[in-house]
Amino acid sequence: MDTPAAGGIVQAKGVTKRFGAHAAVDAVDFTLHENEVAGIIGSNGAGKTTFFNLITGYHRPDEGAILHKGVDITRMTPQQRVARGIMRTFQLTSTFDNLSVTDNLVLAFFRAYRESSLLDLLLNTCKRYRGEPRIDAALETFDLQEVRGRQARNLSLGEKRRLEIAMAVLVEPEVLLLDEPLAGLAESEIRGVLEVLEKHVGRRTILIVEHKISHVREFLQRLTVMHEGRIIASGSYEECLRHPEVRRSYWQIDIAAEDGHAA
């Protein structure tokens, strides 16, 4: 039985992940509250993706625990966590390049819910479910109708990113984790991705990892700054900027550069 989420919907308690002697994530405490839109920023190598992998089950922590609604999920597989409603996208896009947009959505939908093999899905399920109302709705929400029949390999990066987020959202996760959803996108494509994400604000819990903060600044309700495997600040954008440790780290330079004034 799940207990009420008194400590937040997802909680990391003192998690550490080492690669050799190097602690990529170092004794991190972090709470994600229900239906909030939170962001983690930090320079390359700060440990953001590793922390994501700990939440989603792609890494096991060396120390500490991950809780979902008060239940210890530290030893659960990624699939078990998806079944509990925790869904992620990857820093690098993870679509099937040879399949159409629609078939990528069908696969995402059924892989999350069914135990059937990928081959079975490819041979049988795709055809049958191309007209599924929920697939149609996803194509519309994520502005993919015009490219629905196109192979994923022939999409622009922005279209591909929208497809990838659509694949995650289609599963109707309670918690949506996005690892650098805006990486490599042109300005016009960033707007498109943010517009589709905005439709989900307040309806599910969203955690976004970004290297650069400027584009998601308006969008985030709470910001957490990671540096060298640790959380050095958490709060509003302004609180984080004022934080002495954030100012000391070279992050300040990135933020100042984005804001268009000197550090």
Taking the complex as a whole, the smallest distance from the CB of residue 183 to Mg ion amounts, in Å, to 9
Element (H, E) at 198: helix 187-198
**Distance (Å, whole) CA 64 – CA 261:** 40
Cβ atoms of 13 and 29 closer than 8 Å: yes
Taking the complex as a whole, the smallest distance from the CB of residue 63 to ligand ADP amounts, in Å, to 16
The residues that bridge with 164 in the sheet, in sequence order, are: none
45, 64, 70, 78: residue in contact with ligand ADP (rule CB under 6 A): 45
Q: Nearer to ligand ADP by C-beta: 49 or 224? A: 49
Q: Nearer to ligand ADP by C-beta: 45 or 78? A: 45
Q: Is 230 exposed, middle or buried (0-12, 13-18, 19+ CB in 10 A)?
A: middle
Q: Nearer to Mg ion by C-beta: 197 or 209? A: 209
Binding of ligand ADP by 47 (CB under 6 A): yes
Taking the complex as a whole, the smallest distance from the CB of residue 49 to Mg ion amounts, in Å, to 3
Cα separation values, 201 from 15, 34, 175, 196, Å: 28, 11, 11, 10
Taking the complex as a whole, the smallest distance from the CB of residue 49 to ligand ADP amounts, in Å, to 3
Q: Is 85 exposed, middle or buried (0-12, 13-18, 19+ CB in 10 A)?
A: middle
Binding of ligand ADP by 44 (CB under 6 A): yes
Residue 120, both tokens: 């079975």
The number of helix segments (H) and strand segments (E) in the chain equals 11, 10
Binding of Mg ion by 49 (CB under 5 A): yes
Q: Nearer to ligand ADP by C-beta: 42 or 192? A: 42
Q: Which of residues 82-121 bind Mg ion (CB under 5 A)?
A: 91
Taking the complex as a whole, the smallest distance from the CB of residue 262 to ligand ADP amounts, in Å, to 25
Q: Which of residues 15-34 bind ligand ADP (CB under 6 A)?
A: 19, 24
